[in-house]
A = this chain, B = another copy of it.
Amino acid sequence: MSSYLRTLTRRFSTVKPQSNPFPPPNISALPWLGPTRKGVEKPRVVVLGTGWAACRLMKDIDTKIYDVVCVSPRNHMVFTPLLASTCVGTLEFRSIAEPIANIQPAISTSPGSYFFLAKCSSVDPASHTISCETELHGTTEKGARLDSQKFKVAYDKLVVASGAQATTFGIPGVEKHAIFLREVGHAQEIRRKLLLNLMLSDIPGISVEEKKRLLHCVVIGGGPTGVEFSGELSDFIIRDVRQRYSHVKDNIHVTLIEASEILSSFDVSLRQYATNHLTKSGVHLICGIVKDVHEKKIILNDGTEVPYGLLVWSTGVGPSPFIKSLPFPKSLGGRIGVDDWLRVPSEQDIFSIGDCSGFLESTGKSVLPALAQVAERQGKYLASQLNKIGRASGGHANSTADVNLGAPFVYKHLGSMATVGRYKALVDLRQNKNEKGLSIAGFVSWFIWRSAYLTRVVSWRNRFYVAINWATTLVFGRDISRI
């Protein structure tokens, strides 16, 4: 046994001077991943983000041409259209999360490719480097204290695809008291909170008023996410709570508050269908504007006080502080301005796609909506552009390759879908708000909704789990373990 000990101790105490893959930088005291050497190393594409745009780009990029370095605070992509379903357990969290290492295996196996769990803090176009800081948000307190570490990465091509953030319109208390619905962590928080409130409302001595408050779920924002979440909640209440929490069944309610109209991008007949269906399912629809958010109640513009136990905030997205801080010209709405080929025209080798990017006014095109299908299409387009540039030996930084860029990026809307609960959904196949086209609502739409998303889920593993989750929810009901 003592030889083990000796080996172990030796292994840790003697650090042989090895060849360091990260040599100290010349331009800064921070550790870094230095510039690639032309002719010796592959050019390096640095991708910021792991959303729809970034993941589609990384999936399609030719790793025989490029090394890929991904910088993101999460190591997985979230299949956002199904996120609302995970809050009440219709689907499980892991069924909609896809590790980057599955989407692009080269990132964790190819010697020059890396995934860094970090946030980019600044971009220096002159030296072709970015500054990063490790992201330890949500990290356990057990074990070694974790200090975040700063480092730099040199890029040949930089793709900014770090997405947007939930808007609060500067309303006081939103950040502190409301839960957004953009990440798996948010869905987990909603599920834990909902189950906690269900259990707390049963404690002896609780007043009827407090019980009703605890069990009042308020959703702000009548876009597809808010509507789908309200539908899932009412399903959960009708199917699972009434059956299994009979003590509280008459006290639990869902209210959806929207400033104008729900699902405003959908066809008017679909909007009407959704309104009727949600109302029939027990969701209270309120037209109102939130003025203030307190610990246990929100205040509307007209002074109405609405007590709540769970508050979910889903009123669209806007640019993040990082995007605002970047020294590039912006599009309308404060996104990174790009040209017809999704390049940041003022800089060499910088591109931007997804919710953080928008066409510059000079292109004459309008800023595209913050939708998964826009982001994915842009990722696909940019990957093929970068592959083309790389094949023409223009992959390295500042290579003035004479590449014909070809056709600019054009977005064609395929339609919108949203489920409203109880095996009903809306499918709107019009190409934009003002055109005519097919729009259907009901069970057939719901079937289309499920089938369409099932085929879009990234991996076979998750496709399988989504189908299994749907089947077990149907047969056994939703899981109410609060873990």
Interface residues of A, Cβ cutoff 8 Å to B: 1, 4-5, 8-9, 11-12, 15-16, 18, 22, 30-33, 74-76, 92-94, 97-99, 101, 105, 108-109, 111, 114-118, 134, 136, 138-140, 142-146, 149, 151-153, 176-179, 184-185, 188-189, 192-193, 195-196, 199-200, 202-209, 212-213, 216, 243-247, 255, 284-288, 295-296, 300, 302, 304-311, 459-461, 464-465, 468, 472, 475-476, 479-483
Cβ–Cβ < 8 Å partners of A143 in chain B: 177-179, 193, 295-296, 308-311
Cβ–Cβ < 8 Å partners of A4 in chain B: 284-286
Q: A196-B117, A205-B151 are in contact. Are A140 and B101 (CB under 8 A)?
A: no
Chain A contact residues, majority secondary structure: mixed
A286 and B1 contacting across the interface, CB-CB below 8 Å: yes
Shortest CB-to-CB span from A141 to chain B, Å, is 9
Cβ–Cβ < 8 Å partners of A116 in chain B: 199, 202-204
Q: How far is the CA of A446 from the CA of B480 in the complex (A)?
A: 31
B115 and A199 contacting across the interface, CB-CB below 8 Å: yes
Q: A105-B244, A286-B4 are in contact. Are A188 and B483 (CB under 8 A)?
A: yes
B482 and A108 contacting across the interface, CB-CB below 8 Å: no
Q: How far is the CA of A33 from the CA of B202 in the complex (A)?
A: 11
Cβ–Cβ < 8 Å partners of A464 in chain B: 472
Q: A244-B108, A483-B76 are in contact. Are A32 and B149 (CB under 8 A)?
A: no
Give the copy number. 2
B483 and A93 contacting across the interface, CB-CB below 8 Å: yes
Q: A75-B195, A99-B479, A176-B142 are in contact. Are A1 and B203 (CB under 8 A)?
A: no
Q: How far is the CA of A245 from the CA of B107 in the complex (A)?
A: 9
Q: How far is the CA of A289 from the CA of B200 in the complex (A)?
A: 44
B244 and A142 contacting across the interface, CB-CB below 8 Å: no
Cβ–Cβ < 8 Å partners of A93 in chain B: 483
Instruction: Return the contact of A481 from the options B75, B118, B209 (Cβ within 8 A).
Output: B75
Q: A30-B205, A151-B203, A483-B185 are in contact. Are A213 and B142 (CB under 8 A)?
A: no
Q: How far is the CA of A200 from the CA of B149 in the complex (A)?
A: 9
A193 and B108 contacting across the interface, CB-CB below 8 Å: no
Q: How far is the CA of A11 from the CA of B212 in the complex (A)?
A: 9
B286 and A200 contacting across the interface, CB-CB below 8 Å: no
B200 and A117 contacting across the interface, CB-CB below 8 Å: yes
Q: How far is the CA of A101 from the CA of B248 in the complex (A)?
A: 14
Name the residue of chain B whose CB is nearest to the CB of A461: B476
Instruction: Return the contact of A144 from the options B30, B206, B295, B480 (Cβ within 8 A).
Output: B295
Shortest CB-to-CB span from A358 to chain B, Å, is 30
Q: A75-B481, A151-B205 are in contact. Are A101 and B244 (CB under 8 A)?
A: yes
Instruction: Return the contact of A140 from the options B136, B138, B189 (Cβ within 8 A).
Output: B189
Cβ–Cβ < 8 Å partners of A475 in chain B: 461
Cβ–Cβ < 8 Å partners of A74 in chain B: 482-483
Shortest CB-to-CB span from A419 to chain B, Å, is 23
A15 and B94 contacting across the interface, CB-CB below 8 Å: no
Cβ–Cβ < 8 Å partners of A109 in chain B: 243-247
Shortest CB-to-CB span from A113 to chain B, Å, is 9
Instruction: Return the contact of A142 from the options B8, B18, B178, B480 (Cβ within 8 A).
Output: B178
A309 and B483 contacting across the interface, CB-CB below 8 Å: no
Q: How far is the CA of A396 from the CA of B300 in the complex (A)?
A: 52
Q: How far is the CA of A176 from the CA of B144 in the complex (A)?
A: 10
Q: A12-B307, A188-B483 are in contact. Are A115 and B202 (CB under 8 A)?
A: yes
Q: How far is the CA of A408 from the CA of B97 in the complex (A)?
A: 52
Name the residue of chain B whose CB is nearest to the CB of A6: B304
Q: How far is the CA of A300 from the CA of B9 in the complex (A)?
A: 11
A32 and B295 contacting across the interface, CB-CB below 8 Å: no
6 CB contacts below 8 A, A to B, read: A5-B300, A94-B479, A99-B480, A143-B177, A143-B193, A465-B472
Shortest CB-to-CB span from A36 to chain B, Å, is 14
Q: How far is the CA of A322 from the CA of B188 in the complex (A)?
A: 31
